[in-house]
Amino acid sequence: MSNTTPRCSWQGEVIPDSLEAISAPGGLVVCATKVGYILMATDGGGLERKFDAKQRNKNKPGVVLCADIEHLKELAQLNEEVLSFYEQLWEQDVLIGCILPWRKEALTLLPDATTRELAMDARGTSCFVVRFGRPAEQLVERLWAERRLVFASSANPSGHGNKGRVEGIGSRIETQADFIVSADDYVASIQPGKDENTRHEQGVMVSMVDSDGALVPVQDGERSVSPVPALIRHGLDSPAIMESLSAIYSSWDYRQGEYY
């Protein structure tokens, strides 16, 4: 990898240069999370650069990073069961992302038309993620304090993992990003006893919408209902997440890769 892109190792606090880089118009930052490295952007220009750097199709739901549960509640349509699901996992510090519709009022927070186009899929849904790891969480917390949203996807060529190493992001992403927050040791610490070949490289994703993008109904203990939540991507902490699904919902599906 070349050394043309500024970078710094995370030492437990926000790196000022990373905050400056992502705050700039069209800013694009690589940052460590619990499951490897992600690309982070705040506006349409940054999202265009993200897709170009990854050489990835634009038809998949965008990932929205949430600083806390109140942040999530302000952005996404929820019902009491979906909220309970998130709250249970938040208390356990478990990384989770759910496909959800946007609240109509929250759309005003999208800074431009390009962001609105790229931050969600054709159904008007995005994947809203919490507990993704302190290096990136700190940036999101600082930006949300200014009412700015952060969007992300994995920092690797589409279809290839970065194995939790900053060198794994690939030369194209490395040269196109404005700043890199490296923390290989942090990534490795999340799954002790596993190495880059055995640890999870992604978080679990659960779809909480039907085929049209409408929120699944409250089950309230009723059995054999439809539509239901569907786990569509296996990943870090799957057992804890499936346990929470089973505690809240009488019916839910395991549909690995159904959307992706």
Q: Over the chain, what is the mean pLDDT?
A: 94
**pLDDT band at residue 3 using 50, 70 and 90 as cut-offs:** low
Say which amino acid occupies 138: Q
Which CATH code fits 7-254?
3.90.870.10
Closest by CA position to 100, among listed 206, 238, 203:
206
Interval 132-164: pLDDT, tens? 999 999 999 999 999 999 999 999 876 677 899
Distance CA 76, CA 98 (A): 10
Please compute the mean of the pLDDT values over residues 240-251 and round it to a whole number: 98
Mean pLDDT over residues 203-210, rounded? 97
Q: What is the DSSP letter of 109?
A: G
Question: In this structure, are strands 205-207 and 151-154 parallel, antiparallel, or unpaired?
Answer: unpaired
Residue 208 pLDDT greater than 70, yes or no: yes
Query: pLDDT tens digits, residue range 188-204?
Result: 999 999 998 899 999 99
Q: In whole angstroms, what is the distance from residue 243 CA to residue 237 CA?
A: 10
Length of the chain as a residue count: 260
The alpha helices in the chain, defined as continuous H runs, are 16-23, 44-54, 69-75, 80-91, 113-118, 134-144, 171-176, 184-190, 238-248
Q: What residue segments make up the domains of the chain, in order of their start?
A: 7-254
Give tens-digit pLDDT for 34-53: 999 999 999 999 999 999 99
CA distance 159 to 137: 24
Q: Residue 244 pLDDT > 50, yes or no?
A: yes
Q: For position 1, what pLDDT does the model report?
A: 40
Q: Which residues contact 209 (CB under 8 A, 6 or more apart)?
A: 99, 100, 101, 123, 125, 215, 216, 227
**pLDDT at residue 159, rounded to an integer:** 65
Provide the pLDDT for residue 161.
79
Cα three-residue angle 155-134-88, rounded to 5 degrees: 105
> What is the pLDDT, as a whole number, of residue 255?
94
pLDDT at 220: 95
pLDDT tens digit string along 50-106?
A: 999 987 777 777 899 999 999 999 999 999 999 999 999 999 999 999 999 999 999
pLDDT surpassing 70 at residue 114: yes
Q: Is the pLDDT of residue 126 over 70?
A: yes
